[in-house]
């Protein structure tokens, strides 16, 4: 008997016993459970990816909004500085307007008013500009 070669497993028939059937059922049940688990994990992965994508998108939008607000803040602070400088100039001018000599000088300059024994000469604007250009060339 030892000289006989074993036949391949293809020609060996399995015995259908209750034990074998129960093992097959358990194996089929495990395969179904495995497939269900894979489907659930895939669904959870898709949901997690969607949530992560949404959160990333929201983060990017908030970062852009924050940058825009920061830029607006810088511009507003620059405008505030300009307005403060203008306010200081106006305060200085207000103090000057309390001085009678300054008011008299301003009235002479802007409204061509004169004091006693004063003669006002007006120089044409074109000649003033031309004189200034000639002075710049020399």
> Which tens digits make up the pLDDT trace of 14-55?
778 899 899 999 999 999 999 999 999 999 999 999 999 999
DSSP state of 98: T
**Whole-model pTM over 0.75:** no
Is 114:120 a contact under the CB 8 Å cutoff? yes
pLDDT category at 1 given cuts 50, 70, 90 is very low
Residue 59 and residue 61: Cα distance in Å, rounded?
A: 5
Percent of the residues in the chain that have a pLDDT greater than 90, as a whole number: 51
**Average pLDDT, stretch 107-117?**
77
- DSSP string spanning 1-70? -TTSPPPPTTSPPPP--HHHHHHHHHHHHHHHHHHHHHHHHHHHHHHHHHHHHHHHHHHHHHHHHHHHHH
Write the pLDDT tens digit of every residue in 84-102.
999 999 999 888 888 888 8
Question: Does the structure show a pLDDT above 70 at 5?
Answer: no
């Amino acid at each position: 008997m030892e000289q006989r070669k074993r036949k391949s497993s293809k020609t060996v028939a399995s015995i259908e016993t209750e034990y074998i059937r129960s093992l097959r059922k358990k194996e089929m049940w495990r395969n179904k459970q495995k497939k269900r688990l894979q489907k659930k994990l895939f669904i959870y992965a898709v949901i997690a990816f969607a949530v992560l994508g949404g959160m990333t998108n929201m983060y990017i939008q908030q970062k852009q909004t924050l940058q825009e607000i920061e830029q607006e803040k810088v511009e507003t602070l620059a405008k505030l500085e300009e307005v403060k400088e203008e306010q200081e100039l106006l305060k200085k001018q207000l103090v000057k307007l309390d001085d009678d000599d300054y008011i008299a000088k301003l009235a002479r300059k802007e409204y061509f008013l004169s004091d006693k024994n004063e003669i006002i000469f007006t120089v044409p604007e074109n000649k003033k500009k031309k004189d200034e250009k000639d002075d710049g060339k020399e």
